[in-house]
Amino acid sequence: MGIRRELGAAVQRTLDRHLRIGVTGLARAGKTAFITSLVNQLHHVGGHLEFFRAARDGRVLGARRLPQTRLQIPAFPYEDALEALYADAPHWPEPTRGVSEMRLAIRFHPRRSPLRYLGDVATLYLDIVDYPGEWLLDLPLLSLSYSEWSQRARQWYDAERRELAAGWLQELEGFDWLAPASDLQLGRLADRYTASLYAARERGLSYIQPGRFVMPGELAGAPVLQFFPALTLNDAALARMADAPANSAFRTLERRFDYYRRHVARAFYRDHFARLDRQIVLVDCLTPLNHGAAAVRDAQLTLTEIMRNFRYGQRDLLRRLFAPRIDRLLFAATKADHITADQQPNLTALLTDLMGEADRLPRFESVPVETLCIASVRASEQVQVSTGGSYHPALRGVLLNGQTATFYPGDVPSRVPDATLWEQHRFDFQRLRPPRIPPRTPLPHLRMDVVLEHLLGDKLR
C-alpha cells in the first residue's frame, strides 16, 4: 500500500505543471478587468470558451484560488473587482497601482502524456503577476548613466512635451548645476517635473520615464523619486560635469538616479520581471487616436521600448535556472467592444502597425507572438440601425454619464494615420460602463478564450 501511494505521488508530481504569467499595460488599458475576467472564465469553464480547446473538449475540471507563495507581495483584489462588476450599478474596478499576485490551481485531464494511464488528473499551478506597464519603461535605465539618460530625454522631449513642462523648463533655465545641492530646491523641481509627467499622461502620451514617478506604489513621497533629467545641458556641458564637486546639484541628482537605477529598477527586474514564463501586454489604441498624432507617435515609441526589455527563448532546464526567458508573448488591443465588429480587424492591424519592427526579435527566436483585439468584459451590444432605407452597424451601451445610447463610434484606421488624415479627421471613441451581469454567470467577453488558448493551451495537453 505504501509503495503504491509513493508511486501515485511520483506520477502526480510528473503530471503537475507550473506557469508564471505577467500581465501589464499602460494606464487605462484595463489590467484589473482583464485579470478578473481571465480568472472568472476559468471558474466558469464551459462551452462559452469555444477556442479554448481544453475547455471545449471537457478536459478542464475547474480552477480554485490558492494561497500565494510569496507572502510579501499584495494579493490581487479579485473579489473586490468582481463585486464592482456584478453590482446593481456596475462600475469598473479600481485599478491596481503596484505589483500584485494571484495563484490558481487548474485541474485537468491530460490529453498527451506517457503517464496518462497511471494518473488521469493533473494540476497546472498558475501564478498571475500584475504590474504597471510604466515600470517596464524603467528597465532601459539599467544600462544608462545619468548623463546618458539626460541625453536621451532631449531626444523625446518634442514640442508638445516642452509645452506641458514649460514651467519646469523655465525654472531649469536659471538652475546652477554646480552650486551646492539644496534639498528644498531639488524637491520643488522634481515635483514640477513629476507634474509634467502626469500632464503628459493626461494628454494621452505613454512614454513616461521614470515610470515610478506616476505609479510610485510603496515609494510615494520617498526621496528616491526626487530627481529629473539635466535637460538644459547640451553634450559639451554634460561632459564638463565630470569635474563637478561631490556636493553639487548635478552630483546629487546623479547619485539619486543611480540609486533609483540600482535599487528600484533592478529590484523590479530581479524580483518580478526575470521570473516570468509568459507575458501579455494590454494596449489601449483608441485613446491615443482620440488625443492625436503626438499620442500615437508616443505609443509607437513606448511599444518599441517595451519590446526591448523582454528576454526570449525556449525554456530548457538550464535556462530556467540560470537565464529566465519569456517563451510566449501576447499583445492585445483592449476595448474591442467600443467599436463595431466590422472595425475590429482594423484595430488588430493598427496594433501590429504600432509595433512596427519591434516583434521581429521574438519571432526570430521562435517565440510565439500573438496580436489580437479583445474585450475583457464586453460592455456593448452590436446592433443594426436603419438610415435612408439602409442598415448600418452600431453599438448600444451605457456611456460613463449613465446615459444609454445607440451610436456609431467611427472607423478605426488599419495603419498609423498620416499627416493628411490628422488634418481632415478627429477621432472620438466613447468610453462605456460595464453592463448589468446576472449573478453566478461568466463575465461577457470578446476573445478571452483565444487568450486562454495562447497562454495556457500547451500546458493543458
Element (H, E) at 123: strand 122-130
d(CA 445, CA 40): 11
Q: What is the mean pLDDT of residues 283-305?
A: 91
Residue 392 falls within a domain, yes or no?
Answer: no
Residue 80, pLDDT score = 96
329 near 304, Cβ under 8 Å?
Answer: no
Q: Which sign, positive or negative, has the C-alpha torsion 21, 131, 135, 427? A: positive
The three-state secondary structure class of 443 is coil
For residues 263 and 277, membership in a common domain is answered with no
Residue 323 falls within a domain, yes or no?
Answer: yes
Residue 424 falls within a domain, yes or no?
Answer: no
Range ranked top by mean pLDDT from 138-142, 232-236, 385-389:
232-236
Domain endpoint, select from 269, 287, 313 = 269
Strand partners, 105: 64, 125
Residue 451 falls within a domain, yes or no?
Answer: yes
Domain endpoint, select from 234, 253, 269 = 269
d(CA 294, CA 203): 9
For residues 115 and 200, membership in a common domain is answered with no
Residue 317, pLDDT score = 42
* Domain membership of residue 108 as a residue range: 11-131+273-380+437-460
Residue 48, pLDDT score = 81
For residues 442 and 294, membership in a common domain is answered with yes
Grid coordinates in use for 225? 523619486
For residues 328 and 448, membership in a common domain is answered with yes
For residues 223 and 287, membership in a common domain is answered with no
Residue 7, pLDDT score = 43
Say what the alpha-carbon torsion angle 231, 236, 242, 243 is, to the nearest 10 degrees.
-110
For residues 167 and 230, membership in a common domain is answered with yes
d(CA 251, CA 343): 52
d(CA 331, CA 280): 6
Domain endpoint, select from 213, 242, 269 = 269
What are the pLDDT digits (tens) for 73-84? 999 999 999 999
Q: What is the mean pLDDT of residues 149-176?
A: 92
Q: How many helices (H) and strands (E) does the chain have?
A: 19, 10
Q: Residue 320 pLDDT more than 80?
A: no
Burial of 91 (0-12, 13-18, 19+ CB in 10 A): exposed
What are the pLDDT digits (tens) for 25-65? 877 899 999 999 999 999 998 778 999 999 999 999 999 99
* Lowest-confidence pick of 23-37, 89-103, 107-121, 285-299: 107-121
Burial of 90 (0-12, 13-18, 19+ CB in 10 A): middle
Residue 395 falls within a domain, yes or no?
Answer: no
Name the pLDDT band for 113 (thresholds 50, 70, 90): low
d(CA 28, CA 30): 5
For residues 259 and 288, membership in a common domain is answered with no
For residues 444 and 456, membership in a common domain is answered with yes
447 near 336, Cβ under 8 Å?
Answer: yes
Q: Residue 260 pLDDT more than 80?
A: yes
Residue 40, pLDDT score = 96
198 near 214, Cβ under 8 Å?
Answer: yes
Residue 271, pLDDT score = 85
d(CA 201, CA 203): 5
Pairing of strands 100-108, 122-130: antiparallel
Q: Considering only CA atoms, which of 374, 400, 383, 382 is closest in space to residue 452?
A: 374
Which CATH number goes with the domain that contains 326?
3.40.50.300
For residues 180 and 317, membership in a common domain is answered with no
For residues 258 and 289, membership in a common domain is answered with no
Buried/exposed 317-340: b ≥16 CB within 10 Å, e otherwise: eeeeeeebbbbbbbbbbbbbbbbb
The residue among 271 and 259 whose pLDDT is bigger is 259
230 near 177, Cβ under 8 Å?
Answer: yes
Residue 311 falls within a domain, yes or no?
Answer: yes
User: What does the mean pLDDT of the chain come to?
Assistant: 88
Grid coordinates in use for 232? 538644459
Structure letter (DSSP) for residue 114: T
Within 8 A by CB and 6+ apart from 184, the residues are none
For the whole model, what pTM was predicted?
Answer: 0.90
Structure letter (DSSP) for residue 122: E
pLDDT above 70 covers a percentage of the chain that reads 89
Q: Considering only CA atoms, which of 172, 203, 176 is closest in space to residue 190?
A: 172
Residue 10, pLDDT score = 47
Q: How many residues does the chain have?
A: 461
Q: Residue 233 pLDDT more than 90?
A: yes
Residue 399 falls within a domain, yes or no?
Answer: no
Residue 316, pLDDT score = 47
CB atoms under 10 Å from CB of 222, counted, come to: 12
Q: List phi, psi (to 5°) of 391.
A: -105, 140
Residue 423 falls within a domain, yes or no?
Answer: no
Q: How many domains does the chain have?
A: 2
Q: Residue 366 pLDDT more than 70?
A: no
Q: Residue 117 pLDDT more than 60?
A: no
130 near 97, Cβ under 8 Å?
Answer: no
What are the pLDDT digits (tens) for 206-232? 999 999 999 888 888 888 999 999 999
Vertex 255 angle, CA 249 and 257, to 5°: 100
d(CA 368, CA 450): 14
> Cell 500547451 identifies what position?
458
For residues 228 and 300, membership in a common domain is answered with no
* Lowest-confidence pick of 200-214, 292-306, 310-324, 350-364: 310-324
For residues 33 and 127, membership in a common domain is answered with yes
What are the pLDDT digits (tens) for 326-339? 788 899 999 999 99
